Amino acid sequence: MIAVRALRATLGGFTLGPIEFEAPAGAYVALVGPSGHGKSSLLWTLAGAVESRGSIRIGDVDVGAWPPNERRIGFAPQGAQLFPHLSVAANIGFGARDSLQVKPLAETWGVAQLLDRRAPTLSGGEAMRVAIARALARDPALLLLDEPLGSIDEAGRAPLLANLRALRGTRTVIHVTHDLDEAAALATHLGVMRQGKLVAFGTTDDVMLRPPSVEIAQFLGVENVLAGTFTPHGEDASLFRTGELELNVLARANGAGYVSVPERAVMLSLEAPQQVSARNSIPLSVVGVTFDRAGARVELQGTVKLFARLERESVGALGLEPGKKIVAVVKAAQLRVVGQP
């Protein structure tokens, strides 16, 4: 478990904090946010390389005033920062709690064939694998990873992702990334950094599906954010009105606010369905279709503007092209209230 309270630090002209969050033992935390907003600074502060105020509790112990080498924190920084005069084996073994772990760690992280090589001869991806193995050799209670996949080529990402995913539950991990897909694939918990502060933190599903503000929703790639007014409708539901459109929402809210709709939650039909569980049918027109490796993204316009994510074959089956009349169908439970308690 890690619990951070009122953590503050100053790095040159940059102010970090106050930062507060708590994650259970074995949590895999992804930190996302724009460049220069404090993600890496937070890792360096947790590692003890930056003077700070506040509490950093790992398990039952506050290590905030401890020197870095006593915190039981492993850190693989951006760029790996290996010791250039040492071999790969010596780098992994530096500070290891058990020297017998060097070879098994090298095998797990795909660098066993490099043990006699020196750090300057390694590629960026090889160096990062060595840095992760070195960090784990300390048997840390908390593992910090700064852009561990940033220098990994496409072929090497899948096995490294599998290795990182296997860390979940074995120790607490905090992983800085700019890749939201990477965060979604790995993290049990997600934090969003802006201007030196942690502006959102929670389980990955909670933050991605129920972002606390429109700005965070947009940063997380939620294109379908609608502004309007909520009216309570029963104990656990609301009616949401935006312009002339009224939508059923399976959540209680009241007053002005926003809803977000995941693109994959927008189903498309040639006509309004009569016998389905979805309670929201919206007549729209196709503006355009964009194809990518994940399938097709359809832009729709009418009383509202929406984006839908479909399989490629569905585009042909529905005959989607600019100007095509279509019905967007969204289940009430898929509409997420944004920015309200």
| Nearest alpha carbon to residue 131 among 121, 145, 115, 117 | 145
Domain count, the chain: 2
The torsion region of residue 33 among left (phi > 0), alpha (psi -120 to 50) and beta comes to left
Query: Which pTM value belongs to this model?
Result: 0.84
Residue 116 belongs to a domain with what CATH number? 3.40.50.300
Q: What pairs with residue 34 in β-bridges?
A: none
Output the DSSP codes for 140-197.
-SEEEEESTTTT--HHHHHHHHHHHHTTTTTSEEEEE-S-HHHHHHH-SEEEEEETTE
Residues 211 and 308 in one domain: no
Residue type, 192: V
Residues 146 and 201 in one domain: yes
User: What one-character DSSP code corresponds to residue 99?
Assistant: G
User: What one-character DSSP code corresponds to residue 96?
Assistant: -
Output the DSSP codes for 185-242.
HH-SEEEEEETTEEEEEEEHHHHHHS-SSHHHHHHTT---EEEEEEEE-SSS-EEEEE
Residues 174 and 314 in one domain: no
> Of the candidates 188, 219, 250, which is a domain's last residue?
219
Residue 297 belongs to a domain with what CATH number? 2.40.50.100
Residues 30 and 131 in one domain: yes
- Structural domain containing residue 187: 2-219
Which pLDDT belongs to residue 278? 58
User: What one-character DSSP code corresponds to residue 40?
Assistant: H
Q: β-pairing, 225-232 with 52-58?
A: unpaired
Cα 216 to Cα 260: distance, rounded to the nearest angstrom: 11
241 inside domain: no
Largest CA distance in the chain: 71
pLDDT in tens, the chain (341 residues): 899 999 999 998 899 999 999 999 999 999 999 999 999 999 999 999 999 999 999 999 999 999 998 999 999 999 999 999 999 999 999 978 777 889 999 999 999 999 999 999 999 999 999 999 999 999 999 999 999 998 888 888 889 999 999 999 999 999 999 999 899 999 999 999 999 999 999 999 889 878 888 889 888 888 799 999 999 988 889 999 999 899 999 989 999 999 998 898 999 999 877 655 457 999 999 999 999 888 999 999 999 999 999 999 999 999 999 999 999 999 998 898 887 65
Cα 125 to Cα 104: distance, rounded to the nearest angstrom: 19
Quick count: other Cβ atoms within 10 Å of Cβ 88? 27
Residues 157 and 51 in one domain: yes
Residues 54 and 161 in one domain: yes
Residues 166 and 290 in one domain: no
Question: Is residue 173 within 8 Å of residue 31, measured between CB atoms?
Answer: no
Residues 156 and 277 in one domain: no
Residues 83 and 154 in one domain: yes
